[in-house]
Structure formats: C-alpha cells, structure tokens
Structure 1
C-alpha cells in the first residue's frame, strides 16, 4: 500500500475559463471529502504511510493534510488553509477545510448559471461581514482567571480528539502548562504566552496515561559528564553557559614545530592552564550545577568535580532558554564576564533519574518560573504522538481564551444560528448577489450535517429539525450531540468554544473560496525536458560519419 495521493497525479496542463474553475472546485471538494470523517467526537482515524515506511495514526486535520502528497495546485492551496489555521489559533483545522469545500460546492451551480465569479465573490464577502457581526453579538466574555471555565472550554476542544478517554487529565495538563508560561510585559502590560518555546512536551513510552504530569520546572534527556558528580542537589545554584569548557581551537590553520620533548609538554601545559583558568572563574561563584550548550573536556570535568560541581554539556539552545526562564538564570557567553546576578537560584531541586534505559535531568520546584515541561506517558509511540497533537491543540485553545476571553456555543450551535440569521438577511438583498449570500448561509449547515453523519444519526431529519429551531429568535443554543446524534440544549452539555477559533475559521474559509473562484487560468510553469523525437532522429543522422548512416 502506497502513500495516498490526492487528485490525479497527471501533468498540469493549461486550463482556461470555466474548465479551470470546475477543476479547482473538484480538487477542493476531494480534499474536503477526505477529512470530513475526522470531525466531531465520533471521528474516525486516518492511517497514513510516510515515505520512510512509518505510519501515522491521527484524526487531526492539519496533521493529515501535512503528511499526504498532493499534485493539483488548488488542492495544495487547501492544504495551506489548515496550516494557517493551526498556526493562528491551533484548532478548527478540519472545520476550515470542510467549510471551504462546501462553499465552493455551492458556488458551482452559480457558475453554471453563467453568473460572473466577481459577483459571486462580492455576495460572499458581504455574507462574511454580516456573519462576523452575528458571532460578535452572541459571543460571551468570561473571566480568564476562572480555572473551571477554562477547563470547560478545553474539554469541548479535546472531546473531539482521539485521547478523549482521558479528557479531564489532558485538560488539566493543558491548562496547567499554559498558565505556567504566561508572562506579563512590564512596559505594555500585555500578556505573552509562548507555548511552543517554553512549554515543552516530553514523550516517554511506558507506564500509563495517568502518570503524565506537568512539572513545576523543566526536564531534559541528559546525564552528567563525570560518574562521581552529585545526582541530587536541593536548592541548587544554576549556571548556564553558551561557551565551551575546553581548549579553544585556533580559527586558522597554524603549524607548531616541536623540536624538543619539553616543547610538547609546554603545549599541553598551555591547554591545561587555559581550562584551569576557565574553571577557576566558574568555581569562584560557587555554583552547584553548570550547564553548557557546547562541549566540556575531561579536564574541565575533573576540576569541576573536585569543586563538588555537577556539569552537563551539549544541551539544546531551546532547553537552555527554558531552564533560564524557570530558574531565573542568565545564559553567559563569556566565562570572564560572569556576575553573581547571572546565577539562577529559583529551583528547589536538581535530580538525575533513570527512566527505562535513559537518564533524564529534572530541575523542579520553581514557583516563580515561567517555563515548564509536560511529561506524557503511554503504551506506544503512536499513542504518545497523537496525545501530543491533542495536547498542543488544547494548549492553543487555553492560550486563545486567556488572550481573548470570549466564547460561543459549540456542537454546531453557532454555525446554525449564523446560518439562520444570514438566511433572514438574504431576503433584503437584491440581484444575483443574493444567491451567493445564501450559499454562505447554506454552507454553514455542513458542520451539523457531518457531525450527525459521523455518529450515525439521520442527517436530513436532524438538520431540518435544527433549522426549524434556529428559525425562532431564542433558538441559538440548540446543537448536535456529537456522540448520540440527538438535538440537545448546549447549555446543559456545557460545550463552548473560543470565539477566535470560529471567527478565524470563517474568515479563512470564505476568503480562500473567493480566491479559488477568481482563478480563471491554470498554466504550467515548467519546460518540456526533451524535444520532439523527429528532431532527435534528424540530429543523429547529421552527426553520423560518411558512409555509416
């Protein structure tokens, strides 16, 4: 079985006008159809074979589209939507693709009626503006410091994921990790949350999912460099370096002439004195732990061990930055410029433990630190990878709520509410733009349709019933129970989602659909590699020697 290839793998030739538009719409619908079964709590998983022979098991829209091989240019454009959505808000990647595919599908009959694409686009943009206003009106502001409300929002996000069996544990991990890395700017007072850099997820196969935890500090996969150095230190003084603790090699090639046996000893003594001076500068500040991003020689390890200092070398830059944020230390580039204020004293415990066959270093007990490590335990690497993707989405949702604390009803309630209000407004629009305006309203119904389809409910009956309930002024809270398939009051189920995710998904979907509709020509930009066969044959005859044609 080979890696799936979306849309035919043929050479893209010039397509003009209506043919180009229909081809692009067909490619977009194919991509949307591929991942529509991964929406909702009853989502199916996709098994993707990568080029190296490995497998990926996931229902994360962005991950699926990142792994598959696509040839058609419009399909490639669809893949970019999921990536943009993931980078911006971290959730709603599947919704964006499904919504874009549905908008284009409903635009197809309009094109067949010879309505000009720019008139369709104008109607869609007007519908987008009105839809965003409707979402803003029904969005509710919450208190981002209320942990219970944060957990509710994150639970709604994780309920559709593969790891939903342990959803409360995963929700707590996501909320704890995100709250740990919140930094408030002293100048502007704005909050900064960089979960990608300062909330590192460490995956260790083995044990059970319940053993996963958020450390009040950092953890990395390293051991010390001398077997007799201390493995456990309470309240350590931590020194972080960005320089090598070994003899500095010459930047240019220099030749040294050794004529006597004492010359060699002199050279070795120079190296030893250089390393001794480096270590003396460090020892003078009495740190307990020295961590460097570069190398550390055996001689430096000897001097540091004699001074009862534990040393770790060749640490990643990203890990070093996290330790600096957790312990309050400053990364030093030159040992000679070391100051007392550069030493980190914010950690409560330094410990090296063996988990499985590998050694891990823990620096924990950092109450004032703004960096953390999340340890994920699980049965296999596939499960851990999927848990990591789900946890990343959950942390992104938590970040969005802290930065912009506005929520809307989930479980397709907000989509149906927006659809019903747009249908009402469409009556006041005249001309051919009304059809494009209504297309956006009808496209929003694809979310409840797929949710009910994925859990085995009667799709037509469910969507018709929902449409009738949302036609009433007070029906904005009715949605689809993604597990049972019933129409339920979302206020009872407490399914809420960040308004920023819904707004971003709608903006991205409509703008992408408009862009694809405005394409009227697809031209290949590659040259033909070989000339025509008859030219080659003629050249061969001309080059042949006389009498040997």
Structure 2
C-alpha cells in the first residue's frame, strides 16, 4: 500500500496550512503595494516594458496589472479582480486591489492566533452586508439631465488620471458620447453599450483640444475610385451591404468547355450582365453612397461611378453596424431584397478628409445617431493611448450614472463613514467574530490613508482628525482633498463617486479576500524532467516557482 504514496510525493508539490495563508497574504500585499501609489489625483505613473519592447506609461490600475507577469497563483487571482472590476463598472480598479490587500493584511493577525478562516470569512461577509446598507443610507440621487452635475461627477472620477490636467475636455467627450448612444428601454431602464457603439479613433497630430465627439461615424477608408467618385455629399442616401459586388466564380470543380471563340465572349458577357444586374438593383433606390463589407469588382465600381454613386468596400462588420445605427440604414444581405426602408437617410454629410498620410471617411451630422465616434488628436501615440484609457474610464462612469443615478462622496469619505459605522456596530456583535469584524472596519480606512500618503501630508495626524470627524454621523461627507491633502467637505468640492462603482469595489474586494483566506492547500503537479530509468529526484516544495501551468490546481478545503 505504500507505493501510491511515494508516487504522489514524487509528482506533486504541496504546501498546506498556515504557511499557505501567509504566502497568499504576502503575495496579495505585494500586488497591492505595486499599485498603491497610483491611487488619487497625486498619483505616480508607472512605466511598463512589454514583451515586444514597447513601453506603456499609465497610472490605470488595470492597465498596469495586465502587463505584470506573475507566477504566484494568489497574486494571479488578485490581478483577475481588477479585470473584473474594469469589465463590470470600468472604474475603481486600483481601489479594489488596495482594499482587498488590506483585508488580507488585517486577517493575518487572526491566522497567527489560530482563528479558523471560516470564522474570519463569516465576519467579513457580515461586514460587507452592513457596509452596503450604510452606503445605501448616504447615497444621494441626481438628475441625469443636469449637465453641470454630470460634468462635475465625471471630472471627479478622472481627476485622478493623467488627463485630469486638461480640465473639462475628457469629461465633455465622455458625457456627449454616452448620452448619444443611450437607448431608453422604457420603465426607467436605459441600455448604454459603450463598447459596441462608441468607437475611439486616435489620429496623431494636432492639439488635444481638437478632439471631439462626431455626431456620426468616422472610418479609416477612402472611396474605391477617388478620381471618379464624389468625396463630399450632402444629405446622402446610404445603402449598407454585407455581400460582395463581384461575379461569383464557380468552385474548383467547375469545368467549362469552350468549343468556339464566341463561347468565351458569352462567358464574359454573362459575368458582365450578372454584375450589371446587381448594380441596377442597387441603383433603383438612387443611393449616393454604397458601402459593403466584402469586395467590389472594377466592373461594379464602373457602373456605380457612372451613376454618380460613391462606394466604399471591405469595411469591418463592427463599423458597418455603427454606421447603420448612426444613419438609420439596415444592413442588407442580398441586393435583390433591398427595400426603400433599408436606405439610410439620417446622415447630413458624407465627406472624405485627409489626416497626415491617411484618408478618413466621415458620415456625420446625423439627425438621431445611436452610435458615434470620438476623434482624439494629440502629440504622440503614447499620449493618445493614455488619453483613450482615461476616456474609457470616464465613459464607464457616465454609463454607470445613466443606469443608476446615485452618488456617494469621494475622497475616502465613503470608506470612513462605513468604517465608523462598522466600528460602532462591532460592540453589539457577540462571540469570536467580533474581532475580525472590527478589523474589517479598520481595513476600510486603507483608501483614505493611501490618498493621504500620496499627497505627502502627515498621515497619522490627518487620519486621526478624520476619524474624529466621522465619529459624529453628520459629517458623513468629510474626506480628503486628493490634491492638497486637506480635510474638506466633499459636497462643496464636488468630489463624487458613482454608487455602482463603490458597491462593486466593496463586494469584489471582500469576496476575493474571503476566497483567498479559504485556500489551505496549494498543489501543483510538475512534469518529471529526467532521463528515462533515472531515479526520482526529490524536489523541494517551493511555491513561487510555477510548475506546469496546465496541471496547476488549487484544491478546495
């Protein structure tokens, strides 16, 4: 019966018990420390070198963690957190990591005192429920149609980013674009799909101030025959196709036997007639612009340009969908099935312009566009990439508010309010869970503390003063001004956070901390790298070295 045990020892690296807890907590703290300095308006930038030798300069938590290459499984799951946060609400990617790191840090003391992880998790979950009920109380609802409030809100969310220094510019772009693509579903629900219907086009050159939201779509294409086709059309009638305007060649098993010379001409004539027929079916509807996702043959191009129609070919499907949304056209699969209702008449202008060496086609001045393009101009590619990342965050914030128009105070005020409320409540909790619950309350202070650290003020003095203020429930809106480190009222400074982002941050951070605490075994299978017939080499269990990634398992309790 001993043999299987030997085999198991041979092929598995295993660590268990408190050793794993400590290793996981250390790894999570290391990840949190990397991006701790990127929280708040006074944040530092990180310069990352990627595998291809390119550089990324950013202070967006998610962008930084995306580039890290880590072996430790616990650290990997921390990185997953910021990605989840980014996909779900688009902001608060740094806060989530800092908070989760702190939650694990305060749990370390209890693990040393031999508390069972389940007890700590139970206390944390209780703290999470209470935290959500606290922020429900202090949230205030706003009117999404009030432009000034919306501007202030989006600005306070991107004030921490690199483009904060350009004032209202990015906030304006974000609000304009998200309100453009918002679709009312009735019953007070709104669908705002910023990934699908907002395209960000980065064109190096010009000033950042030249960036704008186009009431329509811009694509990196020119007309098929620039000499013959118009490059500027007012109020164009647009037909969108996703079929090729080319002669359908037979598949490879087609055999045509040509006996006489005239047969060849017949074949060519058939081809011409087929294409002419196709074009006539399209020209019946008097379009000014025909756009297809597939190819467009020279012959078709000739028929269209003779009729004074401009054409664009090989467009991306996503761009075609955007144009359809912007000008009210319907994408048609077969020219035979065209109807008058499929023609898009909502656009005010079609124009081809040249930026630098490239041509861009604009379909703009749409009457009621449900898709739009944000045109970003700027000095360099790196700058534009960072501006685009910040714009994505700003658009997510605007989207969150359109979906759930509730606000919370920024500047760490929310966390301090939650922390004070939980501390008060912890006195009424009985049993062993009281202490971890209290520790969770303290952990929430990590956010305002980090903000104060990044401002360079005296952290202990500032935190003590803030805790004193928050002991009184009327001061729920007092927090740290991220630029100066002064203690101010967030309502006056108009520093807000979106309710969705905060709630998601708390939930993600605490649930992740609980998950990591409940891991008590890390087992990774390693492939034997040795000559056949050689004896097994005893391997020291070492958790930082990743074994074989495919066999890596994290066993449940």
Q: TM-score w.r.t. structure 1 length?
A: 0.94
Contact 2:20 2:522 in 1 (8 A): yes
Deviations 1:455-477 (A, max 9, x none): 21111111111111111121211
CA distance in 2, matches of 1:529, 1:240: 58
The answer for the alignment partner of 1:215 in structure 2 is 214
1:413 maps to what in 2?
Answer: 413
Q: Tell me, which stretches of 5 or more residues in structure 1 are unaligned?
A: 1-10, 537-549
Match of 1:459 in 2: 459
Q: Please say if residues 408 and 497 of structure 1, whose CA atoms lie closer than 8 Å, have aligned partners that are also in contact.
A: yes
CA distance in 1, matches of 2:324, 2:452: 49
Q: Does 1:147 align with 2:147?
A: yes
- Contact 2:452/2:462 (8 A) holds in 1: yes
Change (3 A) 1:230 1:12: farther
Match of 1:50 in 2: 50
- Aligned-pair CA distance for 1:527: 3.0
Checking the alignment, whether the CA contact within 8 Å between 2:144 and 2:405 is kept in structure 1 is yes
Following the alignment from structure 2 to structure 1, what is the Cα–Cα distance between the partners of residues 139 and 531? 62
* TM-score under structure 2 length normalisation: 0.92
Aligned position for 2:103: 103
Q: Give the Å deviation of 1:429.
A: 1.1
1:397 equivalent in structure 2:
397
- What is the rounded CA distance, in whole Å, between the counterparts of 1:267 and 1:28 in structure 2? 71
Residue in 2 that maps onto 1:494: 494
Partner of 1:514: 514
Tell which deviates more after alignment, 259-268 or 414-423: 259-268
Deviations for 1:474-512, whole angstroms, at most 9, x for unmatched residues?
121111111111111212211011111100000000000
Matching of residues 19-418 of structure 1 within 5 Å: 19-185=19-185, 190-227=189-226, 228-418=228-418
The range that moved more, 163-172 or 523-532, is: 523-532
- The answer on whether the counterparts of 1:12 and 1:72 sit within 8 Å (CA) in structure 2 is no
Q: Could you tell me how far apart the structure 1 residues matched to 2:323 and 2:529 are?
A: 54
1:345 Cα deviation from its structure 2 partner: 0.3
Task: Give 2:541's aligned residue.
Answer: none
Deviations 1:120-165 (A, max 9, x none): 1001100111010000000001111111111111011010000111
- Matched residues in 2 for 1:462 and 1:250: separation? 78
Are the equivalent residues in 1 in contact too, given 2:178–2:399 (CA < 8 A)?
A: yes
Report the Cα distance in structure 2 between the residues aligned to 1:252 and 1:189, rounded to whole angstroms. Answer: 56
8 A contact 2:12–2:525 mirrored in 1:
no
**Mapped contact 1:285–1:340 kept (Cα < 8 A):** yes
Alpha-carbon distance between aligned partners in 2 of 1:242 and 1:217, rounded to the nearest angstrom = 20
Greater shift in the superposed pair: 305-314 or 263-272: 263-272
Alignment match, 1:438? 438
Once the 2 structures are TM-superposed, how far is the Cα of residue 70 of structure 1 from its aligned partner? 1.3
State the shift of 1:20 in Å: 1.1
| Pairs within 5 Å for 1:471-490 | 471-490=471-490
524-533 vs 332-341, which deviates more? 524-533
- Which runs of 5 or more residues in structure 2 are unaligned? 1-10, 537-557
Contact in 2 for aligned 1:158/1:167 (Cα 8 Å) = no
**SS of match in other structure, 1:38:** coil
Deviation at 1:266, TM superposition (A): 2.1
1: CA distance, partners of 2:282 / 2:180: 31
Q: Which residue of 2 aligns with 1:428?
A: 428
Give the CA deviation at 1:189. 6.0
CA drift at 1:532: 6.6
**Which residue in the other structure is 1:540 paired with?**
none
Tell me the distance in 1 between the aligned counterparts of 2:12 and 2:167: 45
Whole-Å separation in 1 of the counterparts to 2:261 and 2:82: 68
Distance verdict in 2 for CA 1:319–1:422, change over 3 Å: same
